[in-house]
Structure 1
Amino acid sequence: MAKWELGRLWQTLTYFEVIPFINCWQRIFKRSQLQKSKQQTSMVILVAGATGGVGKRVVKNLLEQNYQVRALIRDVARAKDMLDSRVELFEADITIPETLKPEMMQDVSTVICCTGTKVQPVEGDTPTREKYYQGIKFYLPEVVDTPELVEYEGMKNLVKVVSAHIPPATNKLIFDFTNPNAEIKETWGAIDDVVMGGVSQSNIRLADGKAIFSGIVSTDNNGGFASVRTRNFDTPLDLSDYEGIELRVIGDGKRYKFIARCEGKWDGIGYCYSFDTVYNFPTTIRIPFQDLIPVFRAKTVEDANKIDASKIYSMQLMLSKFEYDGELNPKFEAGSFTLQVEYIKAYGGQAKPQFIQISSAGVTRPGRPGINLEEEPPAVRMNEQLGGILTWKLKGEEAIKASGLTYTIIRPCALTEQPGDKILYAEQGDNIRGQVSRDAIAELCIQAMNLPQAVNKTFEVREESQQGKTDWQNLFANLQQDS
């Protein structure tokens, strides 16, 4: 009988922070090491027009709610004076498509667009745009920021690059092993049967655009399993909006297990799913949450609750000689093994808005039969004098709807600097008038971003007279999707 490998046991327990005193120092060291990589890999909210009246409020609210924010702005120097230093600045101009680079969209999950035409009060006092972007000079003589250029042509440019690079709204990428980084390397570690006296050995390494889980599994010393597992996530994953987990793998013909945990215990209940692989052939494995089996040390737990997908603490991949309750894995063989994993994602989620646009109430009214311009707000009465600003905003909305992105188009009534402490009222048909706080619109954007009920809806919004909190879900649930 082989000796219990105490060195490997100690290494496993310390890696997974099972020993309290060492845990404390490990966390301090790990956070300092991973701070930069987490900053690079977290999903990002892109705010276009981030230095405008609504845009700067959107940025502020996002930061307060711990989102990572990237600002699309024309002038970096101006933005640095206005925005928090935590905001990543990307200098570009939506009216110059060459400046909208693919890297602008890296890791972006949602775009909140607060761009708009700056109306010039004096005829002839509109400077031409002469600007450097990433070392390239763009000079457009006789071209000014007209509503057509900003609200329509600029919007087409923006949605084109967004639709080409934003990920599908119904999937959530959890681990992308095709783009390895320090955080992934420090998250996964081996847990083999050494914890119960066995001698199996495994590891996980990143190579050729995949995570390679490999090693040698042995039944000596009553062992028979090898696995790799994540450390507990700093913040448990909320996957409650999704149907299950998807893995893209290349296997060796053996049967493996995927395990997720919805509590932070080292040795608590795990939720398991067994899956077969085809030798050296790419396979997509879909694991519905409802099919995960609650187990404790390979024994099913009959009275356990179903997995709580709103708090996933860790994930694990395992090769074991056992299935469940003493039954043997029919495809198990002692010896070497290899499982290559390209990605792990949540699938089947409800679509949420990918593009949120701040438009304007009244965009359909210029030229509408029966409209009495004397009763309309100034923007509607003066649409022609303002270069057809509402007409071009409406065409910009149409460009968003034609892009294939899931969207929410918000048409605020007259914007004010008042506190956003009143209940919001929303309606469709472009008939309402009134006013609404920029603070309230900024928060409305963030709420819409997280609600499937907001998908593909266009609506007008104003404040009610009474103070209070808006019921966001009810606000969107009472609106109809665009046809």
Structure 2
Amino acid sequence: MSNVNTHFLSTVKLITTLCFLLSASSALSNTVISSGTIMIDLTQANEHQQWEATNDNVMGGISQGQLTFDGQSSRFWGEVSLDNNGGFSSINRAIGPLPFEVDRVAVRFIGDGRRYQLRLATWKSGNRITYKHEFTTIKGQRQEKVFDLNKFQAVFRGRLLSDAPELTAQDTKQVGLLIADKQPGPFALNLIQIQFKSSQKASEYNHP
């Protein structure tokens, strides 16, 4: 590879890194910090504007999905299609730095009976890695699911990565949700709250 091409690729990588970090930094002001817990409040009318949708049309599919505010919560909704080898819809949001002691994520939502993935992305040494944790929903029922960071699985385009580093709070720069349950049809997940917290603090709270 020529020096010109090497310099160009290095410049692109640097610009991408800076944009990602600036986006995460600006997102910090949109989280609520209370009692040592970082919370994303999806009942706020403007919160959905911090999220970006990515659907399978980037790979030729025709699934559709978006995050909107319905007056009470933020609604991740759309329709999954398996046509053209598609089958997924996702949303994601940059987040500010998380305290190193954070080791779990709690999500409150009202589901539709389908299976989703909570996804966290890290950005370290110029490399992005995505981690997933699947969860099921009960149609029309308000639920809270708590996910330990050490139970997330590293993935790349749907394939598990066996040699990825352990997921840590301080490296996490993005949170997202994805539906890819291989079932065509409409979906709707009403998101209420996402909390990043420490199990140690939870233990201290529950056992004074």
- TM-score bin, normalised by smaller chain: 0.7 to 0.9
Say if 2:31 and 2:41, in contact at 8 Å, map to a contact too. Answer: no
**Bigger CA radius of gyration:** 1
- Report the equivalent of 1:210: 73
1:312 aligns with 2:172: yes
**Among candidates 59, 66, 75, match of residue 196 of structure 1:** 59
User: 1:279 maps to what in 2?
Assistant: 139
Amino-acid identity (%) = 25
Q: Contact (CA 8 Å) 1:239, 1:346: kept in 2 or not?
A: no
Q: How far has the Cα of 1:286 moved from its partner?
A: 0.7
User: Distance between the aligned counterparts of 2:31 and 2:130, measured in 1?
Assistant: 26
Deviations 1:82-121 (A, max 9, x none): xxxxxxxxxxxxxxxxxxxxxxxxxxx6xxxxxxxxxxxx
Q: 8 Å contact 2:109–2:191 — kept in the other structure?
A: yes
Aligned partner (choices 196, 199, 206) of residue 346 of structure 1: 196
What is the CA distance between 1:214 and its match in structure 2? 0.2
| Structure 2: gaps spanning 5 or more residues | 1-12
Asked if the contact 2:31/2:38 (under 8 Å) is kept, the reply is no
Superposition CA RMSD, Å: 3.2
Superposition misfits of 4+ residues, deviation over 6 angstroms: 264-267
Inter-partner Cα distance in structure 1 for 2:130 and 2:75: 22
Taking a change above 3 Å as real, the CA distance of residues 197 and 274 of structure 1, as seen in their structure-2 partners, is same
TM-score computed with the length of structure 2 as normaliser: 0.77
- Per the TM alignment, residue 262 of structure 1 is displaced from its structure 2 partner at its CA by 1.3
Q: 1:178 aligns with which of 27, 43, 49?
A: 43
Distance in 1 (alpha carbons) for counterparts of 2:126 and 2:48 = 20
How big is the shift at 1:265?
Answer: 9.6
Which amino acid counterpart does residue 303 of structure 1 have in structure 2?
A: D
- Equivalent residues of 2:31, 2:40 under 8 A apart: no
Q: Which has the higher contact order (CA 8 A, sep 6+)?
A: 2
The count of aligned residue pairs is 187
CA contact (8 A) 1:264 1:313 kept: no
Q: Please state how far the C-alpha of 1:312 moved relative to its aligned partner.
A: 1.2
State the Cα distance separating 1:229 from its structure 2 match: 1.0
Aligned to 1:112: none
- Counterpart contact for 1:268–1:296, Cα < 8 Å: no
**Equivalences for residues 229-240 of structure 1 within 5 A:** 229-230=92-93, 232-233=94-95, 235=96, 237-240=97-100
Distance 1:248 1:263, change over 3 A: same
Report if the CA contact (8 A) 1:290-1:306 is conserved: yes
**TM-score normalized by the length of structure 1:** 0.35
Query: Structure 1 residues 255 and 185 mapped into 2: Cα distance closer, same or farther (>3 Å)?
Result: closer
Which aligned pairs between 1:93-104 and structure 2 lie closer than 5 A? none
- Local SS of the residue matching 2:106: strand
Residue 335 of structure 1 aligns with which residue? 185
Q: Deviations over 1:250-283 (max 9, x none)?
A: 1110000011011179994211100000011011
